C-alpha cells in the first residue's frame, strides 16, 4: 500500500517535470528525470556497497573488550 503510494508519487513528480519550467546550469542536469534516476541509483549503490563493506570490517560486539 505505502509502496504503491510512493511509486505513484514518484511517477507524478516526473510527469510534473514536463509542465514545470526548470532552470539548469549543466546540460545533463536538464535531462528529463535526471535527479530522479540519480537519486535512485545513488541510494541503491550506497546500500549495496555498504553491505559489501561488512565483509571486511564487521566484528563481534565485544571485539575491543577482550
Binding site for another protein (CB under 8 A): 2-3, 6-7, 9-10, 13-14, 16-17, 20-23, 25-26, 33-51, 53-54, 56-61, 63-65
Smallest distance from another protein to CB 31, Å: 11
Q: How far apart are the first and last CA of the chain?
A: 47
Q: How many CB atoms lie within 10 A of CB 9?
A: 9
User: Can you tell me which residue has the cell 528529463?
Assistant: 32
Minimum Å distance from CB 60 to another protein? 7
- Could you tell me the three cell numbers for 28? 545533463
Q: From the CB of 20, what's the least distance to another protein, in Å?
A: 6
Amino acid at each position: 500500500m505505502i509502496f504503491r503510494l510512493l511509486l505513484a508519487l514518484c511517477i507524478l513528480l516526473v510527469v510534473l517535470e514536463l509542465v514545470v519550467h526548470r532552470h539548469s546550469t549543466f546540460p545533463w542536469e536538464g535531462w528529463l528525470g535526471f535527479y530522479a534516476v540519480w537519486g535512485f541509483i545513488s541510494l541503491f549503490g550506497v546500500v549495496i556497497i555498504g553491505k559489501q563493506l561488512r565483509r571486511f570490517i564487521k566484528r563481534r560486539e565485544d571485539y575491543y573488550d577482550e
